[in-house]
């Protein structure tokens, strides 16, 4: 089966060459999409075949025997390959229609295709890396290709700024990871992941490695307050790249955190509690910031932060389970985190691809200017609604099932751990329920404002191509499948949780003996919904007045709720934390001029920490006037000095 993956990787290079050489550009896009989907399909088959054969761990490229140990196909790597390929296939299919809007920018499109292909390849190889240097090489390549992919519309100022913030932040994360791996190498004298096994009895090195690992991977994942790059990068990236960034790239941070836990185990209880607190904080304020947004893509970016927080809660529960040797809690925590990682990748990719279709047809990302889309594309609205229900954690879709495992983890921890944990778990459960409520309100807002009512701007034609419907349909089907039949994934996840120190032997069927009853109930709910829709469709009774008409014979957009007014009261509750500001021009006379209402929320992390720090650093750098010299000899001398310093460190550094 390893040769199947090798063939898939080879096809990515063929797709890259096709994108570079084939003329005209439309044919190049078609061939690129076909080859890339075939490559991803082969890798998906490889992942599934190897996952069903676990717990066997094999070298990835046995044909290159001398370098075979540089890559390793263990359960965690194979699971993340499954996540990557599952959502990348519909994303690449959607790319065909998306790039038709940019055929006039041939050079930019070819550059995007090449960078996207290498991004897909580097992300898949990253999770199999078994050597620190190899991991860092693919980590850098993944970051660079994502940055280049963002430059499809590089002439726009917001693209330049957003891509710069993404690139610099990712390299800040990489800096922490360099220290993380060098500390491990210095302690063990090896670069191989197989040799990294730290315990808290080793003292300072244990906590330094944990700290730098969680910092580096936490920035990539988007935990608060290290999330500030996400609301800048997602809106300016091409939509298919935004989908991949949210669905897959930030999950490489989650993958890295699982590796840190594997290297440093068992973690002390207080680290597990910190993970829980940071995660619930990220979930609550991620969804609350999302509720305050008007830009559809920025709103979805903040929801990524929310769901990363939910995944982090599962990880924190798993860490507590390992620390106290409670097998059921390990399974519920890590299993819930992995399942939600998979689920989030699916429904967030669906929502981002849908947002791209909306933005191209409405020619804006501003929710306030949208409305009435359901009258033009009812099937599209139904698919987007499925993603909205899934991300809100409402049964019977997949988002509910993974959150259900985490809720079960709260009750399990309260029962098994005792002491102060029942109170802590109660607070966390309330916090997660609050997150679910805000998510429901947020997606009620965007679905009602964008899809219902009358049009706020002219929508003479809302076009959704067959390839876009195919991509959205695949993702919506998975949202339904993993909601009504989670057993299809939970068996794989149980095999993936292979932390040898915990000796996990619990199977999901022993945790929940009545999964089949849930499946029957959820199928019944779906059939009821279908019956109601069919009855509504074929009901011959005519409506005698407009929905929500309130007695008016004709509705206008000014009579409808806006996104700002819909969420105003809830956002005002946390106005200080959200830096929520309202600007109101109220009527003052008997015959008033048009009134005006605008709300805006500023990210506290960016406003209070990042922007002041950036300004301070820039001012300090500008104070060194000699750095502005343009003589090439000046820069060459600097390079020589740095080379001498690095050489000296290499000589005196202990081996």
C-alpha dist (Å) from residue 576 to 488, 571, 602: 44, 10, 10
Query: Tell me, what's the pLDDT at 551?
Result: 61
- Average pLDDT score over the chain: 84
Dihedrals phi, psi of 129, to nearest 5 degrees: -60, 130
Query: Tell me, what's the pLDDT at 502?
Result: 45
Please give the structure tokens belonging to residue 514.
């009545």
Distance (Å, whole) CA 109 – CA 105: 6
What letter does residue 325 receive in the DSSP assignment?
A: T
C-alpha dist (Å) from residue 391 to 218, 346, 441: 22, 10, 12
Distance (Å, whole) CA 555 – CA 371: 13
Average pLDDT for 502-513:
52
**DSSP code string of 180-208:** HHHHHHHHHS--BGGG--B-GGGTHHHHH
Do 522 and 395 touch, CB atoms closer than 8 A? yes
Range list of H helices, 52-131: 75-98, 106-128
Per-residue pLDDT tens digits for 242-268? 999 999 999 999 999 999 998 988 889
Average pLDDT for 454-465:
77
Q: What pLDDT band is residue 181 in, cutting at 50, 70 and 90?
A: very high
Q: Is the pLDDT of residue 500 over 60?
A: no
Distance (Å, whole) CA 427 – CA 424: 5
Do 570 and 441 touch, CB atoms closer than 8 A? yes
Per-residue pLDDT tens digits for 121-150? 999 999 999 889 999 999 999 999 999 999
Q: Sign (positive/negative) of CA torsion 162, 167, 172, 176?
A: positive
Q: What pLDDT band is residue 591 in, cutting at 50, 70 and 90?
A: low
* Residue 36: half-sphere exposure toward Cβ, Cα within 13 Å: 32
Q: Which of 299-313, 407-421, 540-554, 571-585 has the lowest mean pLDDT?
A: 540-554
Query: Tell me, what's the pLDDT at 44?
Result: 93
Do 196 and 274 touch, CB atoms closer than 8 A? no
Residue 385 neighbours by CB distance under 10 Å: 16
Rounded to the nearest 10 degrees, the angle between the axes of helix 106-128 and helix 250-263 is: 20
Q: What pLDDT band is residue 549 in, cutting at 50, 70 and 90?
A: low
Distance (Å, whole) CA 11 – CA 90: 17
**DSSP code string of 566-630:** HHHHHHHHTHHHHTEEEEEE---SSSPPPPEEEEEE--HHIIIIIHHHHHHHHHHHHT-GGGG--
């Amino acid at each position: 089966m390893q040769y199947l993956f090798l063939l898939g990787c080879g096809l990515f290079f063929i797709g890259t060459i096709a994108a570079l050489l084939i003329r005209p550009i439309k044919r190049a896009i078609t061939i690129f999409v076909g080859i890339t989907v075939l490559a991803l399909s082969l890798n998906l088959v490889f992942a599934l075949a190897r996952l069903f054969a676990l717990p066997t761990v094999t070298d990835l490229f046995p044909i290159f025997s001398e370098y075979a140990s540089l890559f390793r196909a263990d359960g965690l790597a194979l699971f993340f390959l499954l996540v990557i390929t599952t959502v990348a296939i519909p994303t690449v299919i959607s790319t065909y229609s998306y790039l038709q809007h940019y055929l006039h920018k041939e050079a930019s499109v070819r550059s995007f295709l090449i960078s996207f292909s290498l991004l897909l390849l580097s992300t898949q190889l990253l999770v199999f890396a078994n050597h620190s240097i190899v991991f860092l090489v693919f980590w850098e390549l993944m970051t660079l290709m994502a940055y280049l992919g963002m430059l499809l519309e590089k002439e726009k100022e917001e693209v330049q700024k957003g891509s710069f913030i993404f690139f610099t932040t990712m390299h800040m994360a990489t800096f922490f990871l360099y220290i993380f791996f060098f500390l491990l190498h210095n302690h063990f004298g090896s670069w191989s992941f197989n040799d990294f096994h730290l315990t808290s009895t080793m003292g300072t090195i244990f906590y330094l490695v944990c700290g730098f690992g969680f910092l580096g991977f936490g920035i990539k994942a988007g935990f608060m307050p290290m999330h500030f790059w996400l609301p800048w990068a997602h809106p300016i990236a091409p939509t298919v790249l935004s989908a991949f960034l949210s669905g897959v790239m930030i999950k490489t941070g989650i993958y890295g955190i699982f590796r840190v836990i594997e290297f440093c185990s068992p973690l002390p209880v207080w680290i597990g509690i910190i993970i829980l607190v940071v995660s619930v904080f990220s979930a609550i304020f991620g969804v609350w910031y999302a509720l305050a947004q008007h830009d559809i893509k920025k709103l979805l970016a903040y929801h990524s932060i929310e769901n990363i927080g939910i995944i982090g809660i599962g990880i924190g529960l798993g860490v507590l389970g390992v620390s106290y040797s409670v097998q059921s809690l390990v399974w519920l925590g890590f299993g819930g985190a992995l399942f939600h990682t998979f689920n989030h990748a699916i429904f967030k990719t669906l929502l981002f691809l849908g947002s791209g279709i909306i933005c191209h047809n409405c020619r804006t990302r501003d929710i306030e200017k949208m409305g009435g889309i359901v009258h033009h594309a009812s099937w599209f609205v139904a698919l987007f609604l499925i993603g909205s229900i899934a991300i809100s954690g409402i049964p019977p879709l997949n988002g509910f099932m993974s959150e259900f495992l985490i809720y079960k983890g709260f009750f399990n921890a309260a029962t098994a751990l005792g002491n102060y944990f029942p109170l802590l778990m109660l607070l966390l459960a309330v916090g997660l329920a609050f997150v679910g409520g805000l998510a429901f309100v947020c997606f009620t807002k965007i679905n009602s404002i964008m899809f219902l009512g009358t049009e706020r701007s002219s929508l003479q034609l809302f076009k959704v191509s067959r390839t876009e419907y195919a991509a959205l349909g695949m993702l919506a089907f998975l949202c339904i499948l993993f909601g009504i039949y989670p057993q299809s994934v939970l068996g794989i996840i149980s095999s993936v949780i292979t932390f040898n120190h915990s000796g996990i032997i619990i199977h999901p069927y022993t945790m929940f003996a009545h999964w089949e009853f849930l499946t029957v109930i959820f199928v019944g709910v779906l059939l009821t919904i279908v019956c109601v829709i069919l009855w509504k469709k074929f009901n011959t009774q005519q409506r005698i007045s407009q929905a929500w008409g309130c007695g008016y014979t004709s509705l206008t957009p000014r009579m409808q709720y806006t996104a700002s007014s819909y969420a105003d009261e809830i956002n005002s509750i946390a106005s200080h934390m959200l830096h929520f500001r309202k600007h109101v021009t109220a009527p003052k006379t008997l015959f008033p001029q048009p009134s005006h209402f605008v709300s805006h929320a500023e990210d506290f992390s960016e406003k209070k920490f990042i922007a002041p720090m950036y300004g301070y650093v820039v001012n300090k750098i500008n104070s060194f006037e000699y750095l502005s010299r343009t003589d090439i000899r000046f820069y060459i001398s600097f390079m020589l000095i740095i080379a001498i310093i690095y050489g000296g460190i290499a000589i005196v550094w202990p081996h």
